[in-house]
Chains A and B, each alone.
Chain A
């Protein structure tokens, strides 16, 4: 809500707009009330050197088609000649002329520069050049009775002013009107609050525009007041300027007064020409499914049976209830008798129509938050008071309609407020007698005796329904800054859960291994899973922003492959990334099968690099898994990958990304990959590593190479060696793998270093020989042959 300070001052002496300290006080007051000030703009500053002048005559120069010659009089009776590129003015119009030497808002200085050898003695100005608005399409025309030769600001009665942009939160429907803001601010700053108190005098004979409410749950109150003696004309300058400042284009006195009352009292209204109002009255009903109406913005729209129409007496739609009028019922210059509509619409209903149609207006914003259901009589009186200023013969007729339904919120709503509840929530030590001074000024009327008082809730605060709402009002007006700062004493101690600790450990290990953390979006394009060679079954977003981000990931792999491709395309190769994040495969529970996953991708590395990472993680996490090479994980390299199997459940996958998947993601390098289900790994409690004696006796190494057929995993040979070596084995390392001429085709040579050591004695040659024999025997059973 943009608040013009001079306008706000109508309702209390809040501060001189020219006094910056006073302006700051107002802004601070608003912010301390929850009306956060987001900007303060100085307006109404004029350009010195621009004066009023009357157009005497216009002349077209034969050689200059795009400009004309204008002769103006600045009040001294002589003609001044200027060139002008606009054609919207006529002789005798009063315009604003920048005299020679004037510096315009854009920094340009007006010089005696001519065209075709003829000098220009100034420049005629558009409203944007005068700082009066955005319009720069033509020359700004002043009222024709304006005195000549005056600074235009003086002629227009402009004064420096400030426009305060305050954020109105959803629980403050009243603050969509100046009076609501003024009431709150006056109470806060201790300023006398002066709301308008118009008195309606009904002097005309009975004339009714009857109202029939069909769907009373959507429109709970509808008033119509007939007025004659209307003369449609421009509004007075002060009103036009205020509306302009509020960002509303002045149209005519009737429309402008309607808008002004809305801005002032937060009550939207609509004036209909009674002569063009079919049936001379109103019917309020839901639209038929598919029923059409051309709204005021000129667009034909289709509505549903959940949208409310205002219809004329013949049931022809003339407006969307509480949102926007129809195009065909606008008042015209010829209008003399109007029916003024003021109504109250259901908050939820308006919200549904606004959400569905995306049709919004200054009225719908107010109804959606909750206008005052009992504010209409005052608003009607105010409308009449203001319109009378330009329509001296305005007459209000008897017989105004005021239809209400059971759905109208009660006028008298009250709650019991306990001082103990106030202090319990706020941590204050207020007494019950402290409440009335805080609450009464903002319309929360406190009555009764004792420590529990009845508080009548204001009709303009429909958001207030319970004791806690009143507690908040007390806090606002007492001042949040006075509430003290204490720290609760917790009997608990802070900390991370096991899972969180182990997650941090995983990150620490990976960072230590030189792998960096990426955070790709969890949203995928519809074809991405297929591209990654993964099952395509996935949860979809029903209202995605873009189709490219409409599927929830079931794997971290696609995002990381895209990250590698992105880096490759920026000439960054060998990138090593990991991500710890949630994936969301479909599930048949209350929620999908969301779980936490870890994926590591090593660009430019082959499968064994991923195994190294897995072994490190497994050691740190105390986890183990079998490498099942017979089960190739989806989308991974068929001869270089394995499923990590822990018990029955797969724990993850390790290996390399399949070449076709890499191609689909435009990745040029090989990519080693490790994928783990962190839900399985992180929640598992592991015992601290237990101490083992470090032997003080010398160790002995035995290097043995075996020829083993391809197809028999090295893992099996390793197992055989371990069995054969028995208790003396302390370390076993595969230090060389050889394929080539010196080994028969279809086999490879695997060389192991077997380190033997005893905890309690020196080894003898016999010990080593025994181990060698046992290992050889175990290996032979596998078909492995000792190389000599």
Chain B
């Protein structure tokens, strides 16, 4: 009996070792190691044995044989399945460096990128974003900003005029706004203080293009009108903006200057962490005449304004040497940023 068991076990092991596929292993598992498998079948012959000892020994031998065969099946299954996986993986090999397709993301214009970053900083400082028309009336662009007809400072804005004639007006009263400041007037006329706004927008000057000038460019300006607003508030707001936009290591300062629509007027500079000062923009306390033009009493309300160019922010951030490059619409330029 024991000889039969050993022979059956060895025969089973030989078959298992010869199995070449997982399907064959599955078949053998049922045939050899199942509850009704060949080895289990041997148990039916135990009754024919004489002694209890013989029965016991044979039963044990059968169980051991089943266990050995089961282990062998497990091993064979494992060997075959890892070989199959390895074969599949190997057959699917690709060279990733053959695939050079570029990502298809679009690129926002550099001016838009700077514009939105500036908006976000000002929003964080509590400002609402306001816009206005690009074709403006002479009144909003000059007159209401304390530059009446014949004001000498008008000459400094190289203004482009258009041939639109308002219904009750005259030729020469419609122009392309030379700054975003008309938005100040529109905001004052359309809403009640307190006013905490920032106005980004496109502006126009009759300037021949060169490396640092374009006839069409972009400005952003900030206007605050409230009770008790002082020049210290102007300096402090510029300082807060400077640190928020450029970084904590930057400082700012005001220097006397002249703009018809603010008084006192100031240029504002920012200081790099290395100590270098850079001129950034114009600012000042809103001129009483401008408040009046906006329908506000200068004895009740006061305010400040400051503004600067957006294009230059983009140009300097990315080291663009010539501002005209930003307006070629060359996809090779656009996709750099």
Tell me which of B106, B232, B236, B239 has the highest count of chain A C-beta atoms within 10 A of its own C-beta. Answer: B106
A512 at the interface (CB under 8 A from B): yes
Task: Give Cα distance in the complex from A303 to B267, angstroms.
Answer: 39
B230, A424: Cβ atoms under 8 Å?
yes
A425, B285: Cβ atoms under 8 Å?
yes
B169 at the interface (CB under 8 A from A): yes
Given A493-B126, A519-B327, also A480-B302 (CB < 8 A) = no
B258, A427: Cβ atoms under 8 Å?
no
B233, A519: Cβ atoms under 8 Å?
no
Given A487-B237, A522-B216, also A426-B107 (CB < 8 A) = no
A170, B153: Cβ atoms under 8 Å?
yes
Task: Give Cα distance in the complex from A522 to B235, angstroms.
Answer: 36
Task: Give Cα distance in the complex from A472 to B263, angstroms.
Answer: 6
A469, B129: Cβ atoms under 8 Å?
no
A496 at the interface (CB under 8 A from B): yes
A515 at the interface (CB under 8 A from B): yes
Residue-by-residue, is B97-133 near A (CB-CB < 8 Å gives 1, otherwise 0)? Answer: 0000000111111011000100100111111111101
User: Quick check: which of A28-36, A107-115, A228-236, A385-393 contacts chain B, the rest being far away?
Assistant: A28-36
A577 at the interface (CB under 8 A from B): yes
Closest to B332 in A: A572
B263, A471: Cβ atoms under 8 Å?
yes
A591, B137: Cβ atoms under 8 Å?
yes
A549, B215: Cβ atoms under 8 Å?
yes
B119 to chain A: which residues have CB within 8 Å?
Answer: 496, 500
A475, B231: Cβ atoms under 8 Å?
yes
Task: Give Cα distance in the complex from A339 to B240, angstroms.
Answer: 61
A contact residues vs B (CB 8 Å cutoff): 31-34, 36, 169-172, 347-348, 351-352, 355, 368-369, 424-428, 466, 468-469, 471-472, 475-476, 480-481, 483-488, 490-497, 500, 504, 507, 510-523, 539-545, 549, 552, 562-563, 566-567, 570, 572, 575-578, 581-582, 584, 586-592, 594
B37 at the interface (CB under 8 A from A): no
A488 to chain B: which residues have CB within 8 Å?
Answer: 196, 224, 226, 229, 233, 236-237
Partner of B150, one of A351, A544, A570: A351
B contact residues vs A (CB 8 Å cutoff): 104-109, 111-112, 116, 119, 122-131, 133-137, 150, 152-153, 155-156, 160-164, 166-167, 169, 171-172, 174, 176, 194, 196, 202, 206-208, 215-216, 224, 226, 228-233, 235-237, 239-240, 253-258, 263-267, 285, 287-288, 302, 326-332, 334-335
A496, B123: Cβ atoms under 8 Å?
yes
A368, B257: Cβ atoms under 8 Å?
no
Partner of A494, one of B128, B232, B239: B128
Partner of B236, one of A480, A486, A491, A542: A486
B126 to chain A: which residues have CB within 8 Å?
Answer: 490, 492-494
Partner of A588, one of B106, B167, B171: B167
Task: Give Cα distance in the complex from A512 to B239, angstroms.
Answer: 36
25 contacts between A and B (CB under 8 A): A34-B257, A170-B152, A348-B150, A425-B302, A426-B232, A472-B256, A476-B264, A480-B255, A485-B232, A486-B236, A488-B229, A490-B224, A492-B194, A500-B129, A512-B106, A514-B105, A517-B334, A518-B109, A519-B327, A523-B216, A539-B135, A541-B162, A543-B160, A566-B329, A582-B202
Tell me which of A31, A351, A543, A566 has the highest count of chain B C-beta atoms within 10 A of its own C-beta. Answer: A543
Task: Give Cα distance in the complex from A170 to B326, angstroms.
Answer: 33
Task: Give Cα distance in the complex from A516 to B334, angstroms.
Answer: 7
A491 to chain B: which residues have CB within 8 Å?
Answer: 194
B155, A355: Cβ atoms under 8 Å?
yes
A425, B231: Cβ atoms under 8 Å?
yes
B232 to chain A: which residues have CB within 8 Å?
Answer: 426-428, 483-486
Instruction: Report the 3 A-B pairs with minimum CB-CB distance, sorted nearest first.
Output: A427-B230, A34-B256, A427-B232
- How far in angstroms is the closest Cβ of chain A from B136? 7
Partner of A541, one of B134, B160, B257: B160
A566, B161: Cβ atoms under 8 Å?
no
Partner of B330, one of A500, A513, A552, A567: A567
Starting from the known contacts A486-B235, A563-B329, A576-B106, 7 additional A-B residue pairs (CB-CB under 8 Å) come to A172-B258, A351-B155, A475-B231, A484-B232, A497-B130, A510-B106, A589-B167
B327, A521: Cβ atoms under 8 Å?
yes
A427 to chain B: which residues have CB within 8 Å?
Answer: 230-233
Given A484-B235, A496-B129, also A543-B161 (CB < 8 A) = yes
A562 to chain B: which residues have CB within 8 Å?
Answer: 329
Task: Give Cα distance in the complex from A500 to B119, angstroms.
Answer: 10
B207 to chain A: which residues have CB within 8 Å?
Answer: 545
Task: Give Cα distance in the complex from A454 to B297, angstroms.
Answer: 23
Task: Give Cα distance in the complex from A507 to B115, angstroms.
Answer: 13
Closest to B215 in A: A545
B288 to chain A: which residues have CB within 8 Å?
Answer: 466, 468
B237 to chain A: which residues have CB within 8 Å?
Answer: 487-488
Partner of A424, one of B169, B194, B228: B228
Given A36-B267, A516-B334, also A577-B329 (CB < 8 A) = yes
Closest to A35 in B: B256
B256, A476: Cβ atoms under 8 Å?
yes
Task: Give Cα distance in the complex from A783 to B172, angstroms.
Answer: 62
B256, A369: Cβ atoms under 8 Å?
no
- How far in angstroms is the closest Cβ of chain A from B320? 14
Closest to A507 in B: B108
Given A424-B302, A541-B176, also A487-B240 (CB < 8 A) = yes
A485, B239: Cβ atoms under 8 Å?
yes
Task: Give Cα distance in the complex from A283 to B164, angstroms.
Answer: 43
- How far in angstroms is the closest Cβ of chain B from A728? 37
A541 to chain B: which residues have CB within 8 Å?
Answer: 160-163, 176
Task: Give Cα distance in the complex from A424 to B230, angstroms.
Answer: 6
B137 to chain A: which residues have CB within 8 Å?
Answer: 590-591
A578 to chain B: which residues have CB within 8 Å?
Answer: 106
A519 to chain B: which residues have CB within 8 Å?
Answer: 109, 111-112, 326-327, 329
Given A484-B232, A511-B105, A541-B176, also A351-B161 (CB < 8 A) = no
